[in-house]
Amino acid sequence: MSVVRFSISLEEELLRELDQFAKDNSFANRSQALRNLIEKNIVEKKWHCNNVVAGAIVMIYDHHKKDILTKLNKLQHDNHEVILSSQHYHLSHDICLEIIAVKGLAKKLTDLSEKLISIKGVRHGKLLMSKTD
């Protein structure tokens, strides 16, 4: 893939914001920051178009909550066609971190993540998706 140079005009305030974004995210330069922002926008557009994407559902939960493990496992087994693998970590005696690798239609992954994250006992959850092509 070749690199093409082009110029861009921005208001001073927006340029300061871009520079701060680049600094906050440890980008080497403005070009890397802009590439990241453009890619993110393209990926999010693909989510809305319901394209095939890959990603991870990350959850922190209290494994002592009644039936939480049963509910989490049932949802995962009911959606085995989009789940690639999962990893389970013990953060403390009570709290677990689970990372579920997924690939499928964006809508299906979004629906699955919302169901998993809404289970009582899940303290925090997030779906991360990216394009597969």
pLDDT tens per residue across all 133 residues of the chain: 687 888 888 889 889 999 998 899 888 889 888 888 887 777 666 666 778 899 999 999 999 998 999 999 999 999 999 999 999 999 999 999 999 999 999 889 999 999 999 999 999 999 998 878 7
* Nearest by Cα to 100 from 131, 129, 132: 129
Strand partners, 54: 103, 130
Q: What are phi and psi of 46, to 5 degrees?
A: -65, -35
Integer Cα distance of 37 and 40 in angstroms? 5
